[in-house]
Amino acid sequence: MTDNNDGWDITTNLGATALAVAAQRAAETAQPNPLVRDEFAAILIDAVNEPGWQAMAKGDLAWMGPDDDVGRRTARAGRDYVAARTVFFDEFCAVATASGIRQVVILAAGLDARAYRLACLSGVEVFEIDQPAVQAFKDSTLRAHGATPTANVHPVAVDLRDARWPEMLAGAGWVESAPSAWLVEGLLPYLSSAEHDRLFGVVTGLSAPGSRLAAEVYHHSTRHFGDQRLGKWRDGAAGIGQALDIDVDVTAFIQHDDASDTASWLTQHGWAVESLDSRDEMTRLGRPVPPDLIEIAPASSLVTGVLPLP
Ligand SMILES: C[S@@+](CC[C@H](N)C(=O)[O-])C[C@H]1O[C@@H](n2cnc3c(N)ncnc32)[C@H](O)[C@@H]1O
């Protein structure tokens, strides 16, 4: 990955990864018994106005074609995964705000609409950090649609590899002396090991006692789930791209070095950490991964941390 942000917009480069998960949330919302309802996801996908993304956002998977049973079930497991992780981060927001936290920082917010859809964030200061082009697309689309956030939203348009992001966060009204809740969802695969450690180092340094953190950790590294899984993930994504005529490989941006283990890193730096296997969460939520897809479907560690009060 370079520091050059040229061409980083919503349908190309890393911006497209935000579109891909928003399409999954829209598809989940369109189902008869959704685990989560994100009505803003479909609005954002519609605004892109490309048939492939719109087909992905439908709940029916008809675009897979009638003969590709494994492809269809794999796509469904991928959608179930995104739904389960959305529930995990939603529940984290509820726990964090119930603990008294009044400022939430969403790192790599993408097209996350929690500030619009979660009642627990009502009146809470929510800082959304992402690349300028992604922020501009989300804000202008939701504004044009007349969407009203429940939270007090503060967009912070910056690359998280830019050392000035804490300064920009503070400039947007974030208060260092108050505890924060940090969300790290869908970001870590795109950071190198050094960038990972630097980011968590900065976040830890900025966190007042009582702060909380939730992270989705599906290391691309051999240590976690292995090269084989990554290869299968890439093949699956390529199949979906082909079926939908979407010409962007969202796995191309995944970093390959053997990234730090996030839970261990946080533990070593003072956080009280818990880690769940996403597959157990999916089972808990009634969306188990079919046994024959265990090696193909996405899987992660869903990590939470609390910085203890002195
Ligand atoms: C898979 S999306 C996840 C978005 C959102 N968290 C969600 O789950 O819907 C990844 C997001 O990370 C953002 N991103 C990746 N690297 C980044 C960086 N270095 N600085 C800021 N944003 C970044 C991308 O722009 C994209 O919106």
- 31 Cα to the center of ligand 1, angstroms: 25
The answer to whether residue 6 is domain-embedded is no
Name which residue leads in pLDDT, 205 or 58: 205
The answer to whether residue 7 is domain-embedded is no
Q: What CATH number is associated with residue 112?
A: 3.40.50.150
The answer to whether residue 224 is domain-embedded is yes
- 272 Cα to the center of ligand 1, angstroms: 25
Ligand 1 in reach of 133 Cβ (< 6 A) = no
Ligand 1 in reach of 186 Cβ (< 6 A) = yes
pLDDT attached to residue 225: 55
Ligand 1 in reach of 18 Cβ (< 6 A) = yes
pLDDT attached to residue 259: 64
pLDDT attached to residue 222: 45
Residue nearest to atom 23 of ligand 1 (CA): 108
The answer to whether residue 87 is domain-embedded is yes
Q: How many residues does the chain have?
A: 310
- 17 Cα to the center of ligand 1, angstroms: 7
Per-residue burial over 92-105, b if 16 or more Cβ lie within 10 Å, else e, is: bbebbbeeebbbbb
Contact predicate 41/25, CB 8 Å: yes
Ligand 1 in reach of 10 Cβ (< 6 A) = no
- Calpha distance 161→168 (Å, rounded): 13
Contact predicate 80/282, CB 8 Å: yes
The answer to whether residue 137 is domain-embedded is yes
Ligand 1 in reach of 210 Cβ (< 6 A) = no
- 308 Cα to the center of ligand 1, angstroms: 28
Q: Has residue 2 got a pLDDT over 90?
A: no
Ligand 1 in reach of 15 Cβ (< 6 A) = yes
Q: Has residue 294 got a pLDDT over 50?
A: yes
- Domain with 223 in it: 15-306
pLDDT attached to residue 90: 98
- 206 Cα to the center of ligand 1, angstroms: 20
As beta bridge partners, residue 303 has 215, 275
- 66 Cα to the center of ligand 1, angstroms: 33
pLDDT attached to residue 265: 93
pTM value is 0.92
- Calpha distance 220→254 (Å, rounded): 7
- 34 Cα to the center of ligand 1, angstroms: 24
The answer to whether residue 9 is domain-embedded is no
Angle between helices 39-48 and 132-144 (to 10 degrees): 110
Q: Has residue 4 got a pLDDT over 50?
A: no
pLDDT attached to residue 3: 36
Residue 123: CA count within 13 A, CB half-sphere: 3
Composition of the chain by helix, strand, coil, percent to 5: 45, 15, 40
| Ligand 1 mutation pick, 9, 10, 14, 105, max ligand atoms within 8 A of CB | 14
Residue 227: band (very low, low, confident or very high) from pLDDT cuts 50, 70, 90: low
Q: Has residue 239 got a pLDDT over 90?
A: no
Please report where in the chains the tokens 């046994």 appear, as a residue: 291
Q: What is the dihedral of CA 192, 195, 196, 199, to 10 degrees?
A: -160
Q: Has residue 141 got a pLDDT over 70?
A: yes
Residue nearest to atom 25 of ligand 1 (CA): 15
Ligand 1 in reach of 111 Cβ (< 6 A) = yes
Residue nearest to atom 4 of ligand 1 (CA): 110
Contact predicate 137/10, CB 8 Å: yes
- Calpha distance 7→13 (Å, rounded): 7
DSSP symbols for 142-163: HHHTT---SSEEEEEE--TTST
Residue nearest to atom 13 of ligand 1 (CA): 108
The answer to whether residue 282 is domain-embedded is yes
The answer to whether residue 2 is domain-embedded is no
- Calpha distance 278→306 (Å, rounded): 20
- Calpha distance 26→249 (Å, rounded): 20
**How many domains does the chain contain in total?**
1
Q: Has residue 221 got a pLDDT over 60?
A: no
Residue 8: CA count within 13 A, CB half-sphere: 22
**147 contact partners, CB below 8 Å, separation of at least 6:** 40, 43, 113, 116
Ligand 1 in reach of 130 Cβ (< 6 A) = yes
pLDDT attached to residue 6: 46
| Ligand 1 mutation pick, 130, 159, 200, 203, max ligand atoms within 8 A of CB | 130
Helices marked H in 99-147: 114-117, 132-144
